[in-house]
Amino acid sequence: MAGLPLEGTSVLVVEDHSDSRDAYALWLAQLGAAITTASDALDAHALLRNGLRPSLILSDFHLPGMDGIAFLSSVRDELGLRIPLVAITGDVMAADRLIGAGFDACLVKPVPQRAVADAIVRILERAPDIPVG
């Protein structure tokens, strides 16, 4: 029997709406991922600054305190981490802008469970093992 599709993967879920955060965490955990959650970009940034190194970050774009692009910049530029980032947004018009800003993928809400899992698997399959800070 094959393992779960995200077995051995760790995901940081950054989402300010608790119902959505809990749903993403549950979906990914059911697929074998180890999950850490943060309610905003500032909390996520603190976790990363203190040594958390997930395989991937799944983040809402519209977050209190710091939007998704600022969060991406803080992870990549300030912390020097090359962790794949997937944005989730309800703003259809923002999707191209987010990819252009450096997100590895952008999912538009409402996001089906399968789409989240497929995006993560696809990104992790093509992401080389890059040592992180």
Q: Average pLDDT per run of 10 along the chain, which is 133 residues long?
A: 80 96 95 96 95 96 87 92 93 81 90 89 74 40
User: What's the structural domain count of the chain?
Assistant: 1
Q: What pLDDT sits at residue 65?
A: 85
List of residues 6+ apart from 1 with CB closer than 8 A: none
For residue 122, tell me if it sits in a domain: yes
Residue range of the domain that includes 97: 15-126
For residue 19, tell me if it sits in a domain: yes
